[in-house]
Chain A
């Protein structure tokens, strides 16, 4: 993109600056639009599984419902509790939202379509997604209220627990791909299964890791079986209890941007990212971003499906699953996978 702007007669520095800013806007604006629509999809899928109609009033098929909600929230008054710690109270939604957007910088949407093609892309995503807990913890503490505080404590314990196993799963993928660069991880999956299936999921050693990763990503984004931080039956609305208006909307947008990011990670790490599902020449005529979007949408459907199907975990069950099941399992798989790769001479 820098070359394109240099072609318009700019100097290199200016072209680089304009290219970077427009790249950021090219990711952020469609992402916000996608979040608004994906909330609608979430509610529709949920409603369909519950045999309800879901949103169907605003616009055709109710598709503008999220925009109506956004407008409503935008016009409301921002209420700051008098006992709240004002600075941190206002900072918390901003942190959540910023962190949810920042991680998208390294996501490859196509062979060339990536904002920052850095060597440590996967570590960058891990680092940024580990920050998302701060939004919850800060809002919980700054609200100076019982329920948000409980929510903050639950969130910090939960996120740390599941990040450990996510880290080990990523190590398995990195061992196989031999790189931390997301684009190269995608390329390494080309024809991985039986020589024609693009994706690490078609691999007897990595498929269990994908299952664990999928469940961990539900826990990491605090989706339904693990939504203890906003368990409405116990904690009102968890850390969002004291928030109103735009500050509430920022939490909302950030949460769904995080969910989309986790769906994208599932697609990139195990299902071949922007590659078509099978390594067959005509399929490459379709642009890579279409395949990636289809996969993201598929995983988001699975997220919604889980939300409509299963009940919430109890806190001790959550901890048990994270520390006593997923952690030993992913550790064992690291040993098995590195042993297999050594034995077959993958590293040579």
Chain B
């Protein structure tokens, strides 16, 4: 009973906040609604018994990716008139994306009706791996059967990261950086001298 109630709560909120994400006028509001959608999706994951995925969804998407989104969007200076002018121009492209998404939904419904995929049910009785916790089950699969794919995904991410760094790296000459090791190793004897100059003679530095 309470699982069904929770399922409908999360599902309605996910779809609702997803809709407001694209309808909101203010891009910052859009990102905040998107975060609510992520959050409710994590709730749905908990309901099907995938608590590890749910937590990762919150940590990675809500805790890191959406923060970066918000970081960028906050600094945007958006001209709404310009955005609306683009609407007519991009309409065919938008329709294409809509058709693709609709086809995916129909395919998804078809797959659901075929009943081949058994993930779990909204009432909380998930068909989890027997006798294993979520994390153990995932680890046992990732590090044995899908080891190559897992490592390949890691390599791809590494390459993407290096690419992003190379693209944005600039060497600026004349920047006075801080060399912490040098500061730490500097002793009082290196920096100060103790002399007793004659009157009027001065000292050489």
The chain A residues found within 8 Å of chain B, CB to CB, are 85, 88, 118-120, 123-124, 126-128, 130-131, 133-134, 137-138, 141, 149, 152-153, 156-157, 159-160, 163, 167, 180, 316-317, 320
Per the bound structure, the CA–CA distance linking A3 and B183 in Å amounts to: 63
Q: A130-B62, A130-B64 are in contact. Are A123 and B56 (CB under 8 A)?
A: yes
Closest-CB distance, A168 to chain B (whole angstroms): 13
Determine if B63 is an interface residue (Cβ-Cβ < 8 Å): yes
Q: Which residue of B lies closest to A325 (CB)?
A: B180
Give chain B residues whose Cβ lies under 8 Å from the Cβ of A120.
51-52, 55, 134-135
A156→B71 contact, CB < 8 A: yes
Contact B62 A317 (CB under 8 A): no
Other A-B pairs beyond A123-B56, A130-B58, A153-B75, 7, CB < 8 Å: A119-B133, A120-B51, A120-B52, A134-B70, A153-B71, A163-B64, A320-B178
B20 on interface, CB distance cutoff 8 Å: no
* Residue B28, interface by CB 8 Å: yes
Q: Which residues of A contact B101 (CB under 8 A)?
A: none
Known A-B contacts A120-B55, A123-B55; A133 and B135 likewise in contact (beta carbons under 8 Å) = no
Q: How far is the CA of A185 from the CA of B52 in the complex (A)?
A: 17
Q: Do A127 and B180 touch across chains, with their CB atoms under 8 A apart?
A: no
How near does chain A come to B59, taking the closest CB pair, in angstroms? 5
- The listed residue (B28, B59, B70) touching A130 by CB distance below 8 A is B59
Q: A156–B32 contact, CB under 8 A?
A: no
With both chains docked as a complex, state the minimum distance between the C-beta of B109 and any C-beta of chain A, in angstroms. 31
Chain B residues near A134 (CB, 8 Å)? Answer: 35, 67, 70
Q: What's the least CB distance linking A342 to chain B, in Å? A: 13
Tell me whether A123 and B70 are in contact (CB under 8 A): no
A127:B74 contact, CB within 8 angstroms: no
Give the A-binding residues of B (Cβ under 8 A).
Answer: 26, 28-29, 32, 35, 51-52, 55-56, 58-59, 62-64, 67-68, 70-71, 74-75, 133-135, 178, 180
Q: Are A317 and B178 in contact (CB under 8 A)?
A: yes
CB contact under 8 A between A126 and B74, given known A163-B64, A316-B178: no
Contact (Cβ within 8 A) B67 A141: no
Cβ of A336 to closest chain B Cβ, rounded Å:
19
- Interface pairs (20), CB distance under 8 Å: A85-B26, A88-B32, A119-B133, A123-B59, A127-B55, A127-B62, A127-B63, A130-B59, A130-B63, A130-B64, A133-B63, A134-B67, A134-B70, A138-B32, A156-B68, A156-B70, A160-B64, A163-B63, A180-B135, A317-B178
Option from A118, A131, A157 in Cβ contact (under 8 Å) with B63: A131
Q: With A130-B62, A130-B63, A317-B178 in contact, is A123–B71 under 8 Å at CB? A: no
Q: Across the two chains, which residue of chain A brings its CB closest to B58?
A: A127
- The CA of A250 and the CA of B133, in the complex, are separated in Å by 38
Cα-based distance from A160 to B55 in the complex (angstroms): 17
C-alpha spacing A337/B39, complex, angstroms: 33
With CB as the reference atom, state the residue of chain B lying closest to A178: B136
A180 to B127, CA, bound (A): 22
A157 / chain B contacts, CB cutoff of 8 Å: 71
Contact B67 A156 (CB under 8 A): yes
Residue from B35, B56, B59, B180 whose CB has the most chain A CB atoms within 10 Å = B59
Task: Give Cα A124 to B45, complex, Å.
Answer: 14
